[in-house]
Amino acid sequence: METLSIILLCVFIPVTVLLSICLLCIHSYWKRKWKSITKENDIEAKGDIKIGNQSKENVKHTLRRGPSHQDPTFVADEKLGGRKKKQKKKSKATKRSIDVENQDGAKQIRVEESKLFEFDPPIGNKNLGNTCFFNSSLQALYFTKFFEDALSLLKVSAPNFQNLKLTKSVLELLEKKNVNHTQELRSVLNAVRNINNQFGRGTQEDSYELLNTLLGGILDELQNGDRTCKPIDVDSGVNGISLKNLFTGIFITIYVYDSCNDVEVDFEEFTTLSIPIADNIDQNFKKLPHRGLQTISSEDPRFDIEKGLAVLTQIEDYEESDLPCRVCNIEGTGKAYRRMLVFTPPPVLVIHIDRFKMNDFNRLTKNAQRLKYPRIFNMAKFCSVANTELSTNSLNYELYAVVVHSGALGGGHYYAYVNTTRMHDVEKWQEHLKRSPLDLEKLKSNVEEFLRKRHEFQDDSGQTEVCKVKDSWFYVSDESVCSASVDEVISHKDAYILFYEVH
């Protein structure tokens, strides 16, 4: 009996151990299998989550680049909360595919691979003592495309850059405008005061005069230093940034004579346009005594600033005895006609509204009349047909900044509106920024010959479809900054300087 018990124990124990081992192995195997199945189910379930209208294959792409959305408002939402890393550059051009609308908002169209130009939100400027006239103009320059890039190029290309006091101080301000930049702000003001001592003495001055002094001072420094800008590559895809080409346009003044039918032209550069407030314009501006005086488009001016530009570019007539022909030197008995038009418009078009007028007591006062100015308008109405490289489609301009003066002539306050989000047509900007220096004497001869031979020109009138993206406007008054609506900006009753750019 004892022997049988021992035999059973010897058999039972190994079998029990073996079965236990087998059960443990089976348990372990199914445990691992269950975890694998559960994990696969979780992954599959998470993959079914959609962002907007995107499937699981697009999730990683979306998190990296942002949603491929048809509503342009996603740009603002992304800028406010969707970016963990703040942009280091003041602007960035990215490729987008978005829905945009035409100027009248009549229909939606699709723009594939458009260029969206974005700036960081504005930072205010400290008032250094009645310097709102200075701060407001600077805000417009902060948000001018490629202004900082053109100055940065000079820093690396001009051996005498350290001697360009105004240019150097403006670039240092632009590089630090998003941090505490009071010292740089004061340096720019001091550099401007060295050119015109009326600025920086603690009194309220004219913002338009300040702007002309600043831009003119920079261009004079470059000209006196005999330096030119060299091409560089920037992230917007625009090469060859010339600071002069950015702001400088060319006027053509055309003279025609009844008696000899001669044509004479002169050229003059400009950086800003000052227009009058025109209640009425001469409706005979289309009755051209010579087709060489024609503009690219013969459309009627619609907005108040277009009426001001029409007055600036209207035909003037004289007796030939008062304005004899300088080509043949014959003193005729007919009429001589003169017209100043835009021959080459700049990519950045600055329009000053002349609000000065004489009152009944023969004193200079401010004209507070409200003017209508468009968000987008076409310069073809004011450009000469003598420039055969221009067309209506290349002359659309979009508003991106407004300097406002509130108050009377002897006092008041300046502030600015700026737009930080705009569409960017690379091809149009390249045409302007890559423009070579013109031989004006040779151009003068060629244009005169062209106008003498041809007296009929094709009218390039016609509305062009203009697209826009949802923009981001800000109100900036010294250090105070807040968002603004486009309705608040357009046709402001105290608008003083308008900043347009090629659209």
Domain boundary among 224, 243, 258: 224
Q: Which residue has tokens 């005729």?
A: 332
- The answer to whether the CB of 290 falls within 8 A of the CB of 359 is no
Model pLDDT, residue 460:
58
Residue 7, in any domain of the structure:
no
Residue 362, in any domain of the structure:
no
211 in the same domain as 156: yes
- Long-range Cβ pairs for the range 97-105 (8 Å, 24+): 97/68, 98/69, 98/70, 98/71, 98/72, 98/469, 99/70, 99/71, 99/72, 100/72, 100/423, 100/467, 100/468, 100/469, 101/467, 101/468, 102/465, 102/466, 102/467, 102/468, 103/375, 103/376, 103/466, 103/468
Among 34, 240, 205, smallest CA distance to 132 is for 205
Residue 98, in any domain of the structure:
yes
CA distance 303 to 248: 24
Q: Report the number of distinct structural domains present in the chain.
A: 2
3-state secondary structure of 61: helix
- The token pair that represents 308 in the structure block: 């001001």
Domain boundary among 224, 253, 288: 224
Model pLDDT, residue 85:
34
167 in the same domain as 92: no
Residue 175, in any domain of the structure:
yes
Regions of the chain with pLDDT less than 50: 35-114, 226-239
3-state secondary structure of 477: strand
Q: Amino acid identity, residue 456?
A: E
Domain hosting residue 156, numbered range? 132-224
Contacts of 276 by beta carbon, 8 Å cutoff, 6+ apart = 308, 311, 312, 354
- Confidence (pTM): 0.75
Residue 176, in any domain of the structure:
yes
Estimate the share of the chain in helix, then strand, then coil, as percent rounded to the nearest 5: 35, 25, 40
Residue 216 has phi, psi (to 5 degrees) of: -65, -35
Domain boundary among 178, 206, 224: 224
Residue 479, in any domain of the structure:
no
How many other C-beta atoms lie within 10 A of the C-beta of residue 96?
21
219 in the same domain as 147: yes
Total H helices, total E strands in the chain: 13, 18
Model pLDDT, residue 462:
53
Residue 95, in any domain of the structure:
yes
CA distance 468 to 38: 50
